Structure 1
């Protein structure tokens, strides 16, 4: 085995051979208390889990789905598989699949690709998994998390594939993404060098079947043996204030969540809740995974600033599963920049009209939907280019498709189509995201597939949705915006599960301010649960748009 491969495996599982006694991981319990295992105790459980998995018949190279909630068992089974050379594939829990995405359909799409021999399942979900497995005739053996009585005889092996990441994304059915040991190790080194945490990590609540939760929330802290803490997503939802309190009383250095997480904190936390707390030790607050709203981040700074928090701790980032996770990020102690861009010029390959540049602070900017938040510079060993429609690199200030190249770019899709190979292969990734670079920093505008061309200009639904939400015209929990060509007519559609009432005219006026008179604009009020969503709660815009053009999207009552 080459030195590089040895170093890559050490990046992931080296802590098992030299575990720390003075640091550990805390796990939130159902009653609100915390349990804690030192890294030495955790390593012992991992090795014993690996022995039990091997005894059950799991072998090097096997892909083993995990259906486990965040907790001690997840950590031991995930690393136990890696330790014996097998590949974990983290699946959503049954209750995480809603909005028209049946759990059996999810399993069918996955099982048809990997035909697993074993599935590790928490006892609470074993019945639904067994029923689905029997229906699909996979022949998989269901294993509950177990730990062997011995540790010294546990086999150790080095596999090639670290994770098989299934992601439906916002635009399709679940697809398997091959993340090799080399990909994951490279991204973890990039993240570690970027964030530069020393002793304490984070209190993470993000779901572990999502790349941001698994790699950014869990693996980054554990493989560096930082003092870390894990909550389940529903615990964060139920006790958002309790999550923030952990930071106020313990010197955890990092936070990591998408925009809706910040919105949740702001909705559930009042200034008086923070009396006696200190947030001066929080040095890296990573925001990403969805469009970054500068108004929300400003309010977050304003809430915590009286208690020692500084805006320079905000580190907006850009990443995606196909990049393993992180691609770009604001550097430590750098205050993120905002750029005001005219909404008129949105042609790929043409220079944008940059109106103003400022810094993100506690003071909100006017018209936040016109401002783009910097996602920082490319992380180590990563190249980011902006391409026009002819795939030619563009200079700074020009809108185009974001292209990524580097060692952390995923190995590829499982059973790739020619289109898949054209998008992702040989460490090169055409992301399908639109953005621009200014002073070396990346600004992400939106998904190319979630835009519509009107008079030659790309109108991005994220821009429209952000303005609608900024004025409380819609709630993004219950509404979304989709766009496309309905026949030969460019169309922008607001789909809401709650009636807009008197705000209907305002919503249409906002949409028309982006789309102009050349597009058809419409608001549909549909029944609750109509908007399909991914397991990470992003709207599946393409599925919704296809339902609309097929005539299947029915208005509940007149909005």
Structure 2
């Protein structure tokens, strides 16, 4: 516990001491209207929240789970905790997970590591949070967001731990990640220097229990006190045209979302929704968090192009929770680069066959699954290297593991294992992601754990899945590709919750084009809801593969 205010605390919490009267945040309400608070009003509410939390018994150094939807209460409770020296741990809302069992597992993971004395839950979630906490034991008190009408008397303390961030679970079980004030402040400086929001920020809808939503969607703009707006994910899904129209009517400069968000826009927004809108102020559109599809970005730029949008606003990026968030990103105003890489030349530590390069435009490239999108150079204060299987740095154009070093790399995991300590610590991170560098820019191929070696080459399931989806053979919403070795034989498995019918042979043909005769292709049709998902709706491939090996995946119709 630190008792001294530092420049890092100032970067994160300085807005509370010098809030703006002119700029503020808008919050989308349930009836579709917007509520706006200036930063001065928001700061007063936040300090009032801190005073009330202290009255409730929250003390400096406490870690407090936060189960609150995006809105005013989230901002005030999150920063109210930080202002009194406590640490928020943002949890998914119960509705964000597919079943109660998944939600209870999240709570168990937290209480096993931090044994919280308090948890803050929106009243609509109080009972479900309270019931699950009571089953686990430990005497956690569940309280609602609260405020005291004496913000000037709120106690102030300067903690070292900014966030206990639970990872989404796509790389295994959710892990508790310690993100220090210094880590978070460093990443916020990196993001500010890269995106350079001026006057207006974004209309964010991303879930706040993930690093992309919390750090990129909210904290980056709020701590700079730019004009900003917040919606909840379900509001974005229900009214995607309305969300996009906010950009066309107001000069918000930034947008940040995974490939799913761009796909949602393309599926729901047409020219009839765009008449009279102007997107020329939108200069920083960040795509990340999952495999970037160049065809989707091209179609998005083409949709908005007639209404003032410049394709140079697109800024593909790479980041992960263990890096706090951002690691690399295409520079503002630069055209993102694409390279076409030979399909099977994917041996770690060997030079790739880069056959063609191009710049992203409004015209989609042919066979987009064969193209890799640049995620840009390392951001300021970050260092990125590519390592072979022995951990030796590799030259440009060679495939290997992405290694990151810098002040924004998180402190480490709570209750870290020896393997965790070897992977993450002292500002160094072995990501477990595969990629390569070209002209100083990073290209991300996929997870090393989501690949299988065939004839000494790494075949990545993301490549196979992308081609299957692009060809129309499967739906990404209902099918997932996993791979591994069974009794010495490489195997690629497509798990689908919808029967493939006459598309079965096409699917097997696509897989064989990657594996040749050295691997076995298999399709398994399962019941709806079988594919395990993270709280960000990404497939938990590792869990799915282990269930397959254990014989727990049943063909549809089996008992």
TM-score by length of structure 2 reads 0.98
Q: Give secondary structure in 1 for the equivalent of 2:340.
A: strand
Once residues 124 and 3 of structure 2 are traced to their aligned partners in structure 1, the CA distance between those partners, rounded to angstroms, is: 43
> Which residue number corresponds to residue 537 of structure 1?
537
CA drift of 1:100 comes to 8.2
Q: 2:179 corresponds to which residue? A: 179
Contact 1:455–1:518 under 8 Å retained in 2? yes
Other structure's SS at 1:517 match: helix
| Local SS of the residue matching 1:152 | helix
Residue 504 of structure 1 and its aligned partner are, at CA, apart by 1.0
Q: State the alpha-carbon separation in 2 of the partners of residues 449 and 322 from structure 1.
A: 17
Match of 1:292 in 2: 292
Cα pair 1:338 1:372 within 8 Å, conserved = yes
Matches within 5 A, 1:485-524: 485-524=485-524
What is aligned with 1:277? Answer: 277
1:101 is displaced (CA, Å) by 5.0
Q: Which residue of 1 aligns with 2:379?
A: 379
Counterpart residue number, 1:144: 144
**Residue 259, structure 1, aligned to residue 223, structure 2:** no
* CA-to-aligned-CA distance 1:282-330 (integer Å, 9 cap, x gap): 0000000000000100000110000110110000000000000000000
Q: Which residue number corresponds to residue 246 of structure 1?
A: 246
Partner Cα distance (1:204, 1:101) in 2: 29
Q: Do 1:78 and 1:88's aligned partners in 2 also have CA atoms closer than 8 Å? A: yes
Deviation at 1:31, TM superposition (A): 1.0
Please state how far the C-alpha of 1:477 moved relative to its aligned partner. 1.1
Alignment of 1:447 onto 2:447: yes
Secondary structure, in 3 states, of the residue corresponding to 1:112? helix
* Distance in 2 of aligned mates of 1:514 and 1:219: 42
Name the structure 1 match of 2:326.
326
Matches within 5 A, 1:153-168: 153-168=153-168
**Residue 270 of structure 1: CA displacement?**
0.8
Q: How far, CA to CA, are the matches of 2:367 and 2:100 in structure 1?
A: 35
**Counterparts of 1:460 and 1:39 in 2: how far apart (Å)?**
46
Distance in 1, matches of 2:230 and 2:473, equals 35
- TM-superposed CA distance for 1:51, in Å, is 0.3
Shifted more, 331-340 versus 100-109: the winner is 100-109
How far apart are 1:557 and its partner, in Å? 5.2
Is the counterpart of residue 361 in structure 1 residue 361 in structure 2? Answer: yes
1:387 shift after superposition: 0.2
Q: Which residue is equivalent to 1:407?
A: 407
Q: Distance between the aligned counterparts of 1:196 and 1:184, measured in 2?
A: 17
Tell me: CA distance 1:423–1:100, structure 2 relative to 1, closer, same or farther (3 Å). Answer: farther
CA contact (8 A) 1:100 1:532 kept: no
Residues 207 and 314 (structure 1 numbering): CA distance in 2 closer, same or farther, change over 3 Å? same
* Unaligned stretches of 5+ residues in structure 1: none
- 1:382-423 per-position Cα deviation (integer Å, ceiling 9, x unaligned): 100000001000000000000000000000000100000011
May I ask how many residue pairs the two structures share in their alignment? 558
Deviation, structure 1 residue 138 = 1.9
Contact 1:386 1:394 in 2 (8 A): yes
Contact 1:99 1:531 in 2 (8 A): no
Partner deviation per Cα, 1:196-222 (whole Å, 9 max, x = no partner)? 111000000000001000000010010
The question of 1:302 aligning with 2:302 is answered yes
Post-superposition CA distance 1:74-103 (Å, at most 9, x none)? 000000000001000000001111168521
> Aligned-pair RMSD on alpha carbons?
1.4
> Displacement of 1:487 after TM fit?
2.0
1:49 equivalent in alignment to 2:49: yes
- Displacement of 1:472 in angstroms is 1.7
Please tell me whether the aligned partners of residues 99 and 532 of structure 1 are also in contact (alpha carbons under 8 angstroms): no
Q: Deviations over 1:507-534 (max 9, x none)?
A: 1111111111111101111111000000
* 1:40 aligned partner: 40
Structure 1: how far apart are the matches of 2:476 and 2:204? 23
Q: Distance in 1 between matches of 2:444 and 2:168?
A: 21
Q: Distance in 2 between matches of 1:99 and 1:55?
A: 35
Question: CA separation in 2, counterparts of 1:527 and 1:174?
Answer: 25
Indicate conservation of the 8 Å contact 1:88/1:162, yes or no: yes
The CA deviation string for residues 468-501 of structure 1, in whole angstroms up to 9 with x for no partner, is 1112211111111000011211000011111111
CA distance in 2, matches of 1:389, 1:263: 35
Name the CA shift for 1:101/1:487 in 2 (closer, same or farther; >3 Å).
farther
TM-score norm. by structure 1 comes to: 0.98
For 1:2 and 1:129, locate their aligned partners in 2 and report how far apart those are by CA, in whole Å.
Answer: 31
- Measured in 1, the distance between the counterparts of 2:310 and 2:505 equals 40
1:171 offset after TM fit, Å? 2.8
Look up the SS of the partner of 1:88 in the other structure: strand
Distance 1:487 1:532 in 2: 25
Task: Give the deviation of 1:4 after TM superposition.
Answer: 10
Distance in 1 separating the partners of 2:117 and 2:2: 30
Kept in 2: contact 1:110–1:174 (CA 8 A): no
Query: Counterparts of 2:401 and 2:343 in 1: how far apart (Å)?
Result: 17
2: CA distance between counterparts of 1:541 and 1:447?
Answer: 10
1:550 aligned partner:
550
Any stretches of 5+ residues in structure 2 without a counterpart?
none
**Which SS does the other structure have where 1:420 is aligned?**
helix
Q: What whole-Å deviation, never above 9, does each CA across 1:125-175 have from its counterpart, x for those lacking one?
A: 000111111111120111100110111111011000000001142132221
Q: 2:344 corresponds to which residue?
A: 344
Contact 1:372 1:444 in 2 (8 A): yes
Q: Distance in 1 between matches of 2:428 and 2:65?
A: 27
- 1:195 equivalent in alignment to 2:195: yes
How far off its partner does 1:344 sit?
2.0
Change (3 A) 1:2 1:84: closer
Q: CA deviation at 1:120?
A: 0.4
Residue 5 of structure 1 and its aligned partner are, at CA, apart by 5.8
SS at 1:432 equivalent: strand
